[in-house]
Structure 1
Amino acid sequence: MPKITINQMSYYYADFYNPVYENVTLTLRTEWKIGLIGRNGRGKTTLLKLLQGELEPTAGKISAPIDMEYFPYTSDCTYSRTMDRIKEHVGHLKSIEDTMEKIILENDEVRFDEYAQLQDQYLELEGYEMESKILKEMDEMGLDSALLERDFETLSGGEKTRIMLLTLFLRKKQFLLLDEPTNHLDEAGKDAVAQYLQKKKGFIIVSHDREFLDHVIDHVLAINKKDITIEYGNYSSWKDNKEKQEQYEFRTRERLEEEIAQLERSAKVSRTWADWGNTQKYQFASNGRANGVQTYMKQAKRSEARAQENIEQKKALLQNYEEAKALTIYQEKPEEARCLVKVENLSFRYPDACKDVIHNLNLGVHTGNRIWIRGTNGVGKSTLLRLLSGVVPSDQVAYASDIKIAVVTQEPSWQKGYVTDYFEDYQGNISYKNFLDLCEVFELPENFLDRPLETYSSGELKKVNIARALSEENQLIILDEPLNYMDTYFSEQLEKAILEYQPTLVFVEHDRWFGKKIGTQIINL
């Protein structure tokens, strides 16, 4: 099968001289189903864009015998019917059909040669079989074929995502680069995409959902602290191997560091003796050979070179060792348990809507609760969080006196300018100090305060948003899909912190692994 080769590839962002990759060499087979894993800010999306050709390596070369397509993609298609839109995205088939039909209707002999060329192109793209292929892909994706007759813009967000995804797989000879295709999909949508991708091959996928990755990949491409590795298996097998390696590195870390220190002391002594020997001259030395001191000087230099080589080898053993920093969750603990938010017979509908989004809901949020709000897309999960937080006021929602609520929204609230623009008197602000501590734990780049928010990756923006919320004084935390755009490391980091500090929180999250781990109560909408 064809191979994608990356040879001595380096890349950095020129505006900030931010090195992302240095001397990367890899070989990927085009039939693999690859999960791309790495901490936010390490260049997952950048790597996909380099493979696609949207970005050019600063040095080195990427060679691919196959075209690559990136997801999500923007559409400038003018066709509204979903079937027509899919066909247009698969090699402009609908435009070819329309042009061929126009030539026949007009009986334009001047354009008969053009018709023949278009027909050859149509046959090459398997245009005559395309509708049956689309129906097959719709069935495999778990979508009703009736959607094909509807206006694409009337479909739900999840339906659009799944249709855009299957459209890419209908294109011939493509290797797909899927960047977080499950963001905002509900659990049923994720299951459908997972079952669909199990039957496919030839893609790289970025996802924070560990359970999802386990079902769809057969290789893991990991962007580590100092290198990039490729390994056969799924997320769980990769994670198990990584933990074993980290346990070994942890056990040997102190020993290696002591050995390095000893070698460095030895190299220093050899260097000192060699320098001393170089200053000594033996007055009776013959011109035919060096005296004993000069011979020792050469031996000392060779000894230093061997020690230095050994030092570098041992340092290389530690280059990927990284110890995740513990996340602190700041929340005021009351002296006794109490009800913080009480919802009674809550019904809500948006203006001009024909039915309630939420109907006759009763709910109490008590100290220590970790309530998981579940449901399909469109049933009102985010609306309920906005009602609980007070962003959308309601007479049916009552709050404990002086309650402070920290809110993490789906989309980051800080998008433009600089982080410090959003803090008053930030130098003496305790929340700002907590915010910086959290940003350090989240491993944001050292220069993140000096960069405008417009240059942040989606994951970096989300981390800043979460750090902002968690640094505020609160008795209740509300999280709306906190894992979107985040890496698997962050998922585990947040999970461990919640289990350790046991804050009171209400959250929406489609990652079942995370929800089952931290939720103490489930509300199904």
Structure 2
Amino acid sequence: MSKIAINELSYSFKEYYQPIFNNINISIDTNWKLGLIGRNGRGKTTLLKLISGELEPDKGHISKDINIEYFPYSQITKYIKTLDVIKENIGLLKTMEDVMDDIIKSNDEKRFGEYQKIFDNYAYADGFNIEIRIKKEFHLMNLSESLLEQDFDTLSGGEKTKMLIISLFLRKNSFVLLDEPTNHLDIEGKQVVQNYLNHKKGFILVSHDCEFVDDVVDHIISINKSDITIEKGNYSTWIENKSKSELFEFKTKERLEREIKSLEKNAVANRKWANVANKQKNLFRPYGCNSGRGNDAGVAKLMRQAKSSERTIQKNIEEKKNLLKNYEEVSDLSISQNALEDDVLVTIEKLSFGYSNKLILNKFSLQIRHGDIIWLRGKNGTGKSTLLKLITGEIYSDCLRFQEDIKISQSYQEPLWKKGLINKLIDDNNHSTLHFKNRFLNICKCLDIKLQKFEKPIEAYSSGEIRKIDIARSLATDNDLLLLDEPLNYMDTYFKEQLEKAILIYKPTLVFVEHDENFGHSIANRTVMLDK
């Protein structure tokens, strides 16, 4: 049985003096199917990179006797055909085949030793059975074998994602780290990957999709406020246990805080009393008289008792504080929009649009009214993000009519702010006002983006934090219509609950794209299906 053992591991972002992990100890069975849970910015991706070896710990070490494979990864290869690209990604198998063929054709005896070495490596990687195994994986991933003969670059983004995941699981003696593998996959694509992972073991999965995690894992790693824990079960059992723990902490929080305050008050009183006693033992002793030794001993004893009592109180305070160490405080998010008199904000009539002679939207019509919460649905490539760009005016079409002076705010799949200091980005923002800045900072605080971190550049934040910052920007911008393009990508479960609750309470006029079915069904009052 293989293990990945993390011993006394500490790690920090030294450039920004930001500690991430401190003396972490966990042991992972490489046959487990683990889900990695934690709020944005807590270090999920950092932990994966430490396990993979991409990052080195400041202290401690990670022992492993298995190859660690990481998704996403960049595949750079000279090969074009999909089958060849997959073989190369599995372990340079296509290169091995080409070199062995070249040696055989050259009939160069000097290279026979090289041939034998490559042959042995190829056999160890199961190269002689690899095409059969690839086709088997294609079947599990619901992919047509005909794709193997296509050029890899002609495949859709979803097809490429599935094939890159297949390549990792076909690598010899591998344990796979999957960091948000379903981002940008449509609902059907997510279901296929979900079914695929149900047939696999030996991986850690990071995903914002709770249902997806729930269905495929048998253990949960949780990065909490003060520690990291592992427990057997799926996301549902973990959230149930966490809810019970947080309910207990919530019920006892005020009591514990009162007790801590009282203990701290007693500690101060004891300290003052001991100091007074120490002064008084000399205050009333006659000058030049040594007859106060008995009194001195009594006072010294009382002082020792006072100090012992203070130590006991301090220990009690720390124990009570530890009971609250992982209590998560989640603020309510608010959404504000302008009040409009005109009911119809945007009218789209018989819109046809496409790229490179490929029609995406064909005679499409839609009317967006005040109070609409419209869920744009459809498979990848049906034009959902394109339609949002047409509504914002990023792409022009004379098939759209807008209410006069309408203000539209959008959060993008690819955040608008990607580099630079946040304070400067706020000041450079076209819509920047004091109201915008204050509201933006308040929303960031609500979303657990620490204000003191604004001194570091935005590219140093986690992917989830950058997305939260982009959503905060869009919510803080004065608007009549809000557009959200896959707002839950990279997001923790707390954010999903915050956003869902806010939309249901404030009912903004909203058009959104999202592959999370529960979220979409919960908030939408209109659904528009886009088809190929």
TM-score between both structures, scaled by the size of structure 2: 0.94
Q: Partners of 2:82 and 2:180 in 1: how far apart? A: 23
Alignment of 1:345-364 (within 5 A): 345-350=350-355, 352-353=356-357, 355-364=358-367
Residue number in structure 2 paired with 1:502: 507
Q: Partners of 1:397 and 1:425 in 2: how far apart? A: 30
Q: Match for 2:318 among 303, 312, 315?
A: 312
Residue number in structure 2 paired with 1:151: 151
Displacement of 1:362: 1.7
Q: Partners of 2:422 and 2:256 in 1: how far apart? A: 40
Q: Match for 1:522 among 507, 523, 527?
A: 527
Q: After superposition, what is the alpha-carbon deviation per residue over 1:235-271, rounded to whole angstroms, capped at 9, x for unaligned?
A: 2222222222111111101111111112112222222
Residue number in structure 2 paired with 1:455: 460
User: Are positions 1:401 and 2:404 aligned together?
Assistant: yes
* Contact preservation (8 Å) 1:210, 1:513: no
* Contact preservation (8 Å) 1:41, 1:445: no
Q: Which amino acid aligns with 2:316?
A: N
Going from structure 1 to structure 2, the CA distance change for 1:436 and 1:286 (only over 3 Å counts) comes to closer
Q: Which amino acid aligns with 1:24?
A: I
Q: Partners of 1:124 and 1:309 in 2: how far apart? A: 58
* Contact preservation (8 Å) 2:420, 2:458: yes
Q: Partners of 2:303 and 2:196 in 1: how far apart? A: 69
Displacement of 1:190: 0.4
Q: Partners of 1:275 and 1:398 in 2: how far apart? A: 80
Q: Which amino acid aligns with 1:80?
A: I
* Contact preservation (8 Å) 2:441, 2:451: no
Q: After superposition, what is the alpha-carbon deviation per residue over 1:283-318, rounded to whole angstroms, capped at 9, x for unaligned?
A: 44779x982222222222211111111110000001
Residue number in structure 2 paired with 1:333: 339
Q: After superposition, what is the alpha-carbon deviation per residue over 1:431-460, rounded to whole angstroms, capped at 9, x for unaligned?
A: 111111111111112333322223222222
The residue matched to 1:356 in structure 2 has which SS?
strand
Residue number in structure 1 paired with 2:496: 491
Q: Match for 1:296 among 296, 302, 310?
A: 302
Residue number in structure 2 paired with 1:480: 485
The residue matched to 1:90 in structure 2 has which SS?
helix
Q: Partners of 1:60 and 1:394 in 2: how far apart? A: 59
Q: Which amino acid aligns with 2:376?
A: I
The residue matched to 1:414 in structure 2 has which SS?
coil
Displacement of 1:365: 1.1
Comparing 201-210 with 157-166, greater Cα deviation is found at 201-210
Alignment of 1:90-489 (within 5 A): 90-279=90-279, 280=281, 283-284=290-291, 291-335=297-341, 338-350=343-355, 352-353=356-357, 355-424=358-427, 429-489=434-494
* Contact preservation (8 Å) 2:208, 2:493: yes
Q: After superposition, what is the alpha-carbon deviation per residue over 1:104-163, rounded to whole angstroms, capped at 9, x for unaligned?
A: 122111222222222221111111111100000111011111111111111110000000
Number of corresponding residues: 521
Going from structure 1 to structure 2, the CA distance change for 1:323 and 1:454 (only over 3 Å counts) comes to closer
* Contact preservation (8 Å) 1:183, 1:484: yes
Displacement of 1:387: 1.4
Q: Partners of 1:469 and 1:258 in 2: how far apart? A: 40
* Contact preservation (8 Å) 1:30, 1:203: yes
Q: Partners of 1:232 and 1:100 in 2: how far apart? A: 47
Residue number in structure 2 paired with 1:43: 43
Q: Partners of 1:423 and 1:296 in 2: how far apart? A: 60
Going from structure 1 to structure 2, the CA distance change for 1:440 and 1:22 (only over 3 Å counts) comes to same
Q: Which amino acid aligns with 2:311?
A: A
The residue matched to 2:367 in structure 1 has which SS?
strand
Displacement of 1:70: 1.1
Q: Partners of 1:60 and 1:424 in 2: how far apart? A: 42
Going from structure 1 to structure 2, the CA distance change for 1:428 and 1:194 (only over 3 Å counts) comes to closer
The residue matched to 1:7 in structure 2 has which SS?
strand
Q: Which amino acid aligns with 2:234?
A: N
Displacement of 1:278: 4.1
Comparing 463-472 with 295-304, greater Cα deviation is found at 295-304
Going from structure 1 to structure 2, the CA distance change for 1:7 and 1:290 (only over 3 Å counts) comes to farther
Comparing 448-457 with 42-51, greater Cα deviation is found at 448-457
Q: After superposition, what is the alpha-carbon deviation per residue over 1:467-522, rounded to whole angstroms, capped at 9, x for unaligned?
A: 11111111111111111122222111111111111111011111112111111111
Q: Which amino acid aligns with 1:291?
A: A
Q: Partners of 1:322 and 1:260 in 2: how far apart? A: 19
Going from structure 1 to structure 2, the CA distance change for 1:302 and 1:378 (only over 3 Å counts) comes to same
Going from structure 1 to structure 2, the CA distance change for 1:425 and 1:371 (only over 3 Å counts) comes to closer
The residue matched to 1:117 in structure 2 has which SS?
helix
Q: Which amino acid aligns with 1:419?
A: I
Residue number in structure 1 paired with 2:516: 511
The residue matched to 1:201 in structure 2 has which SS?
coil
Displacement of 1:424: 4.5
Q: Partners of 2:440 and 2:88 in 1: how far apart? A: 48
Q: Which amino acid aligns with 1:73?
A: Y
Q: After superposition, what is the alpha-carbon deviation per residue over 1:357-407, rounded to whole angstroms, capped at 9, x for unaligned?
A: 101112111111111111111111111111122221222111122211111
Residue number in structure 1 paired with 2:68: 68
The residue matched to 2:269 in structure 1 has which SS?
helix
Give percent identity, aligned residues only: 51
* Contact preservation (8 Å) 1:477, 1:503: yes
The residue matched to 2:419 in structure 1 has which SS?
coil
Give structure 1 stretches of 5+ with no counterpart: none
The residue matched to 1:439 in structure 2 has which SS?
helix
